[in-house]
Amino acid sequence: MGPGPHFTGPSLGDLSPGQSCRIVALHGRGPIRQRLMDLGLVPHMTVSVVRRAPLGDPIQVQAGDAVVTLRRAEAARVEITCEAAAGPADSADG
């Protein structure tokens, strides 16, 4: 396995389907970082995991109006923070 990202916080690859978070930073250089940005993944954006393949790779992520697919290694380079406050759509049928 290759070297991992150089941060210790949670990454997009740590989320389960249905979980949402905010992107803190993109870790990586050159083509990897550019691919993430081309897919619309940028700092301060809220994203959520839609689903994972049966073996956990790849991961489908809702980013704005788009659903993008990431490999686990790419998702591991997206540093996130998850706020404790639930969104208004999280419990519509109380």
pLDDT, position 28: 87
Residue 59 to residues 3, 45, 73, 84, 85: CA-CA distances in angstroms?
20, 17, 10, 23, 24
| Cα 8 from Cα 88, distance rounded (Å) | 30
pLDDT, position 8: 76
Backbone angles phi, psi at 40, to 5 degrees: 95, 10
One-letter identity of residue 15: L
pLDDT, position 6: 63
Give the chain's length. 94
CATH number of 12-81: 2.30.30.90
pTM: 0.77
Give the domain ranges of the chain: 12-81
Averages of pLDDT over each 10 residues, the chain, 94 residues = 61 92 92 91 94 91 93 93 59 46
